[in-house]
């Protein structure tokens, strides 16, 4: 049974989730070409200790030439590292297919209007139905993430590029225009399905942060979209030139920034096989919530991007798109930005999630261990005391600022709606505070009196 059935939490920053969480464990989705060990038949994920023994086991079971082995090795090479690392196997990707069906043929005066993977397409009638459908087919195939579009009569079958999700809406306008139906003919399989399967496994769903061995654009977009519906944290990487280029409005960095996801962190790095995303996430999870900001951290086994690979102008573009980099400042390699793709600091997700988890654990314990939590003044006082305890811990753990109010409030007993009383529900409890952020820059003026 989900904890949210007993304890409902709505959080203004992060989404509410379904299970109690740990914050020191990493999940790595293996590469599509990696071969999982035979004992993973029937399961999606397997845990390994984040040390040399775990690496040896991964080498024996997955092969030391596998992408998972390389990413695992990068994770455990960090000075701080997670307690456990879970290998998440993949099933073979299957391309998603949709059919677009026109009830009758397009005719003079009609216009086809569609949005395919976010790209708006408008196709006016041209000569005859077949020619018009051909124009539509050409326009669809020009959209990134589309492999093919095939016309057969009044039906167009659209096949996505492997690893890409497929989103299509379509209509026809004009007098007597036909109705248009879009249907999924082949659901396909993307990395989102593999992650969903891993989350569904209670025994191994102990990881909080996730990274992926593969890093194609469609894969990252699919994973990021799914992770946004969970209480996980996703670190991704790209070396896409368009992400650091002015314009580049279809680039991965631009698209993710525009989507304003709150659970995805993107790195631009000139060497994808250094697994900067996994290295940074492993280091981050190796520190307790509230104790670390991602900005300014150094990584082991990751080469700072040189100016020959990332110019000052490109750095500016990446900053505007909230894409993180790893560059050298003086003798030190440092993570810059430390931000999610929406521009907020990463701590706004993980640290807030830890407060949500504390609330759930605290009140689950209260409801399960108090023989009869009374619906009266003393009972409400007990609820207040539990909430005050969470508020104090959020300050002690450096998650919320101590110099600004951190307050847990519950409604007055006399103000309770009769329906809530009948349902034995205490509504509208609220914990409010201000996230404790770190310092990213210091400006100093030197005044010397002569």
State residue 19's pLDDT score.
52
Q: How many CB atoms lie within 10 A of CB 92?
A: 8
Query: For residue 127, what pLDDT band results from cuts at 50, 70 and 90?
Result: very high
Domain for residue 353, yes or no? no
Domain for residue 346, yes or no? no
Question: Same domain for 177 and 322?
Answer: no
Question: Same domain for 208 and 315?
Answer: yes
Query: For residue 48, what pLDDT band results from cuts at 50, 70 and 90?
Result: very high
Question: Residue 220 half-sphere exposure, CB side, CA atoms within 13 Å?
Answer: 27
Question: Same domain for 126 and 258?
Answer: no
Question: Same domain for 101 and 211?
Answer: no
Question: Same domain for 294 and 233?
Answer: yes
**Chain centroid offset of residue 118 CA:** 19
Q: How many CB atoms lie within 10 A of CB 79?
A: 10
Kind of pairing, strands 233-238 and 209-212? Answer: parallel
d(CA 17, CA 247): 36
Last residue of a domain, one of 130, 156, 186: 186
Strand ordering across the sheet containing 168-173 = 119-124, 111-116, 168-173
Question: Same domain for 115 and 181?
Answer: yes
**CA separation, residue 332 to residues 266, 292, 327, 329 (Å):** 21, 18, 8, 5
Burial class (CB in 10 A: 0-12, 13-18, 19+), 157: middle
Last residue of a domain, one of 131, 162, 186: 186
Domain for residue 102, yes or no? yes
Domain for residue 269, yes or no? yes
Residue 169 pairs with which residues in a beta bridge?
Answer: 115
pLDDT at 9 over 80: no
Q: What is the pTM of this model?
A: 0.92
Q: How many CB atoms lie within 10 A of CB 329?
A: 10
Domain for residue 371, yes or no? no
Q: Report the percent of the chain where pLDDT is more than 70.
A: 96
Mean per-residue pLDDT of the chain:
94
Domain for residue 108, yes or no? yes
Residue 215 pairs with which residues in a beta bridge?
Answer: none
CA dihedral 118, 97, 218, 245 (to 10 degrees): -40
Query: Domain count of the chain?
Result: 3
Question: Same domain for 79 and 117?
Answer: no
Domain for residue 368, yes or no? no
Question: Same domain for 71 and 148?
Answer: no
- The dihedral of CA 184, 185, 190, 192: what is its sign? positive
Classify each residue of 23-32 as buried b or exposed e, where b means 16 or more C-beta atoms within 10 Å of its C-beta: bbbbbbbbbb
Read off the pLDDT of each residue in 345-369 and give the average, rounded to a whole number. 95
d(CA 409, CA 284): 32
pLDDT at 189 over 50: yes
d(CA 355, CA 396): 12
Q: Are 377 and 413 in contact (CB under 8 A)?
A: yes
SS (H, E, C) the chain: CCHHHCCCCCCCCCCCCCCCCCCCEEEEECCCCCCCCHHHCCCCEEEEECCHHHHHHHHHHHCCCCHHHHHHHHHHCCCCCCCEEEEECCCCCECCEEEEEECCCCCCCCEEEEEECCEEEEEECCCCHHHHHHHHHHHHHCCCCEEEEEEECCEEEEEECCCCCCCEEEEEECCCCCCEEEEEEECCECHHHHHHHHHHCCCCCCCCEEEECCCCHHHHHHHHHHHCCCCCEEEEEECCHHHHCCCCCCCHHHHHHHHCCCCEEEEECCCHHHCHHHHHHHHHHCCCCCCCCCCCCCCCCCCCCCCCCCCHHHHHHHHHCCCEEEEEECCEEEEECCECCCCCECHHHHHHHHHHHHHHHHHHHHHHHCCCCCCCHHHHHHHHHHHHHHHHHHHHCCCECCCCCCEEECCCHHHCCHHHHHCCCCCCCEEECCECCCCCCCCCCCCCCC
State residue 20's pLDDT score.
61
Domain range enclosing 414: 376-388+397-450
pLDDT at 120 over 50: yes
pLDDT tens readout for residues 62-111 = 999 999 999 999 999 999 999 999 999 999 999 999 999 999 999 999 99
Read off the pLDDT of each residue in 115-130 and give the average, rounded to a whole number. 97
State residue 448's pLDDT score.
95
Question: Same domain for 330 and 220?
Answer: yes
pLDDT tens readout for residues 239-284 = 999 999 998 889 999 999 999 999 999 999 999 999 999 999 999 9
Domain for residue 332, yes or no? yes
Read off the pLDDT of each residue in 325-352 and give the average, rounded to a whole number. 96
Q: Report the percent of the chain where pLDDT is more than 90.
A: 94
* Residues whose CB is less than 8 angstroms from the CB of residue 80 and which lie 6 or more positions away in sequence, other chains included: 283, 286, 287
d(CA 27, CA 207): 6
pLDDT tens readout for residues 29-44 = 999 999 999 999 999 9
Q: How many CB atoms lie within 10 A of CB 368?
A: 9
323, 266, 331, 277: which is closest to 301 by C-alpha? 277
Question: Same domain for 181 and 195?
Answer: no
Query: For residue 8, what pLDDT band results from cuts at 50, 70 and 90?
Result: low
Question: Same domain for 316 and 226?
Answer: yes
Question: Same domain for 110 and 213?
Answer: no
pLDDT at 11 over 50: no
State residue 22's pLDDT score.
84
Last residue of a domain, one of 186, 206, 225: 186
């Amino acid at each position: 049974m989900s904890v949210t059935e007993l304890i409902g939490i709505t959080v203004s920053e992060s989404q509410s989730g379904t299970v109690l969480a740990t914050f020191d464990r990493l999940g790595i989705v293996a590469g599509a070409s990696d071969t999982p060990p035979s004992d993973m038949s029937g399961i999606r994920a397997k845990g390994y200790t984040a040390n040399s023994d775990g690496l040896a086991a991964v080498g024996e079971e997955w092969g030391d030439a596998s992408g998972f082995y390389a990413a695992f090795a990068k994770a455990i090479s960090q000075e701080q590292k997670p307690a456990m690392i879970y290998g998440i196997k993949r099933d073979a990707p299957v391309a998603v297919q949709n059919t677009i069906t026109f009830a009758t043929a397009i005719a003079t005066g009609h216009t086809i209007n569609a949005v395919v993977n976010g790209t708006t397409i408008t196709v006016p009638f041209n000569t005859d139905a077949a020619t018009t459908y051909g124009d539509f087919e050409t326009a669809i195939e020009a959209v990134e993430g589309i492999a093919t579009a095939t016309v057969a009569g009044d039906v167009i079958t659209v096949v996505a590029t492997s690893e890409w999700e497929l989103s299509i809406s379509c209509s026809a306008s004009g007098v007597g225009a036909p109705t248009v139906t879009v249907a999924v003919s082949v659901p396909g399989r993307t990395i989102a399905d593999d992650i969903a399967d891993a989350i569904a496994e209670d025994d191994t769903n102990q990881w909080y942060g996730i990274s992926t061995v593969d890093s194609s654009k469609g894969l990252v977009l699919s994973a990021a979209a799914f992770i946004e519906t969970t209480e996980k944290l996703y670190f991704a990487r790209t070396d896409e030139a368009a992400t650091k280029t002015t314009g580049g409005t279809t680039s991965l960095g631009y698209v993710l920034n525009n989507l304003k996801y709150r659970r995805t962190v993107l790195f631009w790095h000139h060497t994808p096989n250094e697994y900067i995303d996994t290295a940074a996430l492993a280091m981050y999870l190796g520190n307790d919530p509230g104790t670390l900001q991602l900005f300014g951290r150094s990584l082991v086994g990751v080469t700072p991007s040189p100016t020959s690979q990332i110019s000052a102008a490109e750095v500016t573009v990446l900053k505007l798109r909230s894409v993180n980099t790893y560059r050298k400042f003086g003798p030190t390699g440092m993570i810059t930005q430390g931000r999610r793709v929406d521009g907020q600091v990463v701590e706004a997700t993980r640290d807030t999630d830890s407060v949500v988890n504390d609330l759930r654990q605290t009140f689950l314990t209260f409801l399960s261990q108090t023989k009869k939590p009374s619906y009266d003044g003393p009972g409400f006082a007990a609820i207040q005391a539990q909430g005050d305890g969470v508020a104090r811990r959020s300050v002690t753990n450096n998650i919320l600022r101590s110099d600004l109010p951190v307050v847990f409030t519950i409604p007055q007993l006399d103000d309770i709606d009769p329906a809530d009383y009948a349902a034995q529900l205490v509504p509208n409890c609220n914990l409010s505070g201000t996230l404790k952020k770190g310092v990213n820059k210091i400006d100093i003026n030197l005044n010397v009196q002569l």
